[in-house]
Chains A and B, each alone.
Chain A
Amino acid sequence: MSAHAAVPADFEAWPDAARAEWQLGALRETLAYAGDRSEVYRAVWGAAGVGPDDVATIDDFHRLPIVHKGDFVEALPQGVTRETTAVGFSTRGTSGMPLVVWLDELESVRYTLPCARGFRWAGLRAGDRALLLNPGWHRLAAMEGHAALQLGAVPCHFWGTVADLAHVDYFLDAIRDHRPQFVSSTPPFLLTAVRRCDKTGIDLHQLFSSVRSVSLVGLALTPGLRRHLADRLGVEHVFERGGTQEGAALDECELHTGMHVHEDVCYLEVVDGDGRPCPTGTAGRLLVTKLVPGGSPFVRYDTGDRAAFLPGRCACGIAFPRLRMLGRPESTVFVQGRPVTAFEVRRILDERADLVGRISVLVHDRERPDLLRIEIEGGPVDPDPGEEIAASLGVEHVRVDWLHGTEVVWGFRQVVDVKESRTGGGR
């Protein structure tokens, strides 16, 4: 059992220096575990001439090489794993080959704690019925039932999966059947549920009348979409939750000022293209280090996500820093040499009552690297949002194409190549 297994219940209120000292101890334990368990880390650290024994301070830690998915994939077939009494999950593979990550008992116990903490922040109470992501869908989903039980709630599930938007009727049936006080889902799935109710004449407020709060994971939530969903569903709060199969864990408090990083299980960094730390408020690449010596180790792992730490402290009193997740390579295009994420565009569109909740995708057009192309479902609105987007994002040329009646499925992938775009390659 880890020396850091007993995380203090009031860790979220500890002073910065005390938490940093605790984290350094946990980091060193993680490094020893990774060095012992992972051929990949031994090879990467060996090539760089550094290792766990060289890390005495956090600055030493920052000198360890950054590890990418490719390092694991290249290690195949040597990287083939055969774990005992463990559970494997796969990353989505949207930015290349999927990566299998393993969960063991220690990791499950340790990660249930922040999940329960996040659910507590989101208002889950003893005696509640919680309609959760189905077990087995994702490593995060595997923690949810444990967290709900820990808080004295009953985990409830619908038939099927959030990964298939055609299963939304089963989700709606489950809301009707379970009358939950708390719901965990994904933004695309919940928005599809709202649309389904609109289409079939189901009274959303009545259907969701038992629900106090909703927690959404899997895609960054814009402020406009949050307000829209809360209003449409008639719920008090819509919370954003973040997490990766590699171990990042984040949750919002009820002030919704950004997701707090659960510092007892993960150490997150935001770095620039050269691997240097980005100043607070500046977006960069997200690196994840899991602070649990269990399951698949991840140390300074580049998830491909873009993120930024938020400045200042949250008024809620939780001391954990806050992070804004901006997107992944598959939800990012480069315009005039700088990355633009689908989230940044949606954040602008979702502020407009005539556009909030409409599905939009960015179009990757190699031949026009100076042009930000956006496709939006439905018909045009007045004024066209192109000018506002250009001004807000500092992009010179923006083109908005309207998809009119074309049916669009909103998923986690929010960039399409110009060849597969609905409005074609016309320039």
Chain B
Amino acid sequence: MTTESTARPVISFSLPEGRLDLAAPQLDAWAEHLTACYRALGVTPGDAIGIVDYGSSPVAYLSSSLVTAGLRRGVAELLSGSVICVDASHERVGLVPGILPQVELDVVVVRLDVVPLLMAVLRESGMSLAGLRVLVTVRLGARGAELPLPSTTWHRLLVVESAMLIAPECRACGGFHLDDDRYDVDLEERTVTARDVHRAHRVGRRVSLLEGGCAALAGRWRLVDPPEPEVGR
């Protein structure tokens, strides 16, 4: 359950869509939510997670209290696991083949934009992510332009940074299940709003906003981003 916090922000992000201020209780609540999303995607306690994303992404700054001040328990603490942070810049992604032999990872979380680069540098090094659980952070409404995920051990995690819209993809229905305790949905306005940040995210026409869950994951509301590109249909 999240609560609106009027406490002083402990971290403030200037994002392309606007400012995002978070107070300590909010950071903790979001870390719990992200951990729940990871668990829904198969991440287990004790896992070692490699994160290939910018520090301004919640998957990075919610990863551990050691990384972000004001966060009391991040994903690493909540899962009693470890994280390794790799910036998603071209230079740092190129380091991944050198990092993998040194760390026994269970999970890799990577932002969609850098998946082709990551795969290319691994291929050049004769390496792969086989055997690892790979979570790809995606935006909403771009599914038609995405390449198919290469393996059943790869999963999508919806991350809209400015609106703190974070939801796991359901393997059964293909939708992103929204946490009832965290998000308000306005069907008429087609918006999803995280209660404690008050930033409504307008859902595009191509994405279906469905009421009624499926048996596989909890959540009254689902967002279904069709895989087929609109052009040529």
On whether the beta carbons of A76 and B91 are closer than 8 Å, the reply is no
A206 to B76, CA, bound (A): 42
SS class, residues of chain B in contact with chain A: mixed
Say if the beta carbon of B89 comes within 8 Å of chain A: yes
On whether the beta carbons of A76 and B63 are closer than 8 Å, the reply is no
On whether the beta carbons of B95 and A160 are closer than 8 Å, the reply is no
Partner of A81, one of B64, B92, B103: B103
Contacts of A135 in B (CB 8 A): 55, 60-61, 67-68
Distance between B131 CB and nearest chain A CB, rounded to angstroms: 14
On whether the beta carbons of A108 and B70 are closer than 8 Å, the reply is no
Distance between B153 CB and nearest chain A CB, rounded to angstroms: 20
A99 to B98, CA, bound (A): 8
> What class of interface size applies to chain A in its complex with B?
35 or more
> What class of interface size applies to chain B in its complex with A?
35 or more
Contacts of A87 in B (CB 8 A): 63-64, 66-67, 76, 82-85
A145 to B65, CA, bound (A): 11
On whether the beta carbons of B66 and A137 are closer than 8 Å, the reply is no
Name 25 A/B residue pairs within 8 A (Cβ), A-sorted.
Answer: A76-B101, A76-B102, A80-B102, A84-B46, A84-B81, A84-B82, A87-B64, A87-B76, A88-B103, A90-B84, A92-B95, A98-B98, A100-B84, A100-B103, A136-B67, A141-B55, A145-B68, A149-B69, A156-B13, A157-B56, A158-B56, A159-B14, A163-B91, A177-B14, A177-B19
Say if the beta carbon of A89 comes within 8 Å of chain B: yes
Residue in A closest to B94 when the chains form the complex, CB atoms: A93
Distance between B28 CB and nearest chain A CB, rounded to angstroms: 15
Residues of chain A touching chain B, judged by Cβ–Cβ distance below 8 Å, are: 76-77, 79-90, 92-93, 97-100, 102-105, 108, 129, 133-137, 141-142, 145-146, 148-149, 154-161, 163-164, 170, 173-174, 177-178, 411
Contacts of A173 in B (CB 8 A): 14, 16
Say if the beta carbon of B88 comes within 8 Å of chain A: yes
Contacts of B19 in A (CB 8 A): 177-178
Residue in A closest to B59 when the chains form the complex, CB atoms: A136
On whether the beta carbons of B89 and A163 are closer than 8 Å, the reply is yes
